[in-house]
A and B are shown apart, each in its own frame.
Chain A
Amino acid sequence: MTMMEQAPRQVAVKVSPEGDKLITSGAHYLRMSKKDLVEAAVAFYLDARREEMQAGMRELLSELDGSRASRIAMLAGMTRAELDAVGGAEED
């Protein structure tokens, strides 16, 4: 018995007319299909944003020194000086 292989499912993505023009001209210029261009562009964009997101997270993490007070100040959105001024936190 032979089994028919199912083609991977594809989905439609709605874009604005301006976006479609950009994709069409970009695909023509780069000699790619519109589908391949969109997939490559999304992967590229996400990678770029991932760097940005990681950098932002590293910056936030650098504000934490392992103390409970620094974590509480981070969660409350205040500085350590502000936290200390209203009572300060007990370390475990």
Chain B
Amino acid sequence: MAERARPTLRCLREDLGLAVPRIDRPLDEIAHPLLAKAAERFADDQTPQERIAAVDDQVLFKVKAQRWRGAVWADAGVAWLVAAGRREEGSPDDFYASLAARGKAARARYNAEHTPPLSSTTHTGDLLPGREDELRWRAEGAARTERRLRAVVHGLVRQSLLDGREHAEMLDGAALGIHILADEGHETYVAIRIIGSVPRRLVATILSLIPGCQADAWMSDYAMPERAVAPEEQIWSNIMDPAAAAPAGSMWVLCVPGSCARGLAVCVSCDVYCVICKELRRRRCCRCCGPGCRPRS
């Protein structure tokens, strides 16, 4: 069963004549009648498929929608649209005849350059998903991961800034915890703990998402504030600039400098909290932030 239908980048650009969208828009979400038909036909294993008989080096299936004709290669839950074209008037299977002719020409070229020669009558391997398709697939997955990571990290930062406690969340089998200590009169300290086997690139991305921290100042630690390191846990710490951290949540505003008796104040939406003045935390409206609040520019 194919969970989704997507075109190869070559097919998208050359056959469908569409521009390659940004990676935030997955290729299986492109609106095109041929892709919609492929997704529908390959959603169920029981749906009978018509193989393109003139292509014998790969198992390619026909897919038809309006005047569009396509060739689908099914692999690991994905129906790849590897070639497409329009049916010409008076020639119902013109596209498939062209595809076979292209495959025969490619076979002739291949056999002229390689030993042993192909025994099939066609060579369509160059149409199948290649390196750029694999890169696109990975990039789409990474874009989804980045969006989720950013929301989780900024959410944990915001929660810890508000109550000074460690907050944690599970991320694909690993636990991510953030603890920010904004003690009065001291620097704001941030500790990140990760439990589980996590690629270093993911750790680097998490650290880079912590606002208000210098990238080259991260330290690997043996303990979290107020407790020792746990088994299979890695801990990173840094000093945070709470003013720079304010934009982590889009709703955050920064009080007018000087209106807080103890220094900088950071607020969240209409619930006003002061990072520095501990005694004012959790109050609906604190005296240092009230009418003086304005959006951080």
Contact = CB atoms under 8 A, between A and B. Distances in A.
B204 A60 contact: yes
A57 to B, nearest CB: 6
Interface residues of B, number: 33
Contacts of B65: none
Contacts of B200: 56-57, 60
A32 to B, nearest CB: 22
A5 interface: no
B220 A72 contact: no
B215 interface: yes
Contact of B146 (A46, A60, A68, A77): A68
Contact of B220 (A54, A75, A78, A82): A54
Interface string B215-238: 110111010000000000000100
Given A61-B208, A71-B209, A87 B218 contact: no
Contacts of B170: none
A64 B9 contact: no
Interface residues of A, number: 30
Contact of A87 (B21, B145, B146, B236): B21
A75 B207 CA distance: 13
B20 A78 contact: no
B146 A86 contact: no
B205 interface: yes
A2 interface: no
A86 B24 CA distance: 11
Contacts of B149: 75
Interface in B144-164: 145-146, 149
A71 B23 CA distance: 13
A24 B171 CA distance: 44
Interface of A: 46, 50, 53-54, 56-58, 60-64, 66, 68, 71-78, 82-83, 85-90
Given A72-B143, A87-B139, A89-B139, 7 more contacts: A54-B218, A61-B208, A63-B204, A71-B146, A72-B139, A75-B145, A77-B201
Interface of B: 9, 20-24, 132, 135-136, 138-139, 141-143, 145-146, 149, 200-205, 207-209, 215-216, 218-220, 222, 236
Task: Enumerate the 9 nearest inter-chain pairs by beta-carbon distance, A residue then B residue, closest first.
Answer: A76-B142, A60-B204, A75-B142, A86-B136, A61-B215, A76-B138, A64-B208, A72-B142, A87-B23
9 contacts: A53-B220, A56-B200, A64-B208, A68-B146, A71-B208, A71-B209, A73-B142, A86-B135, A87-B21
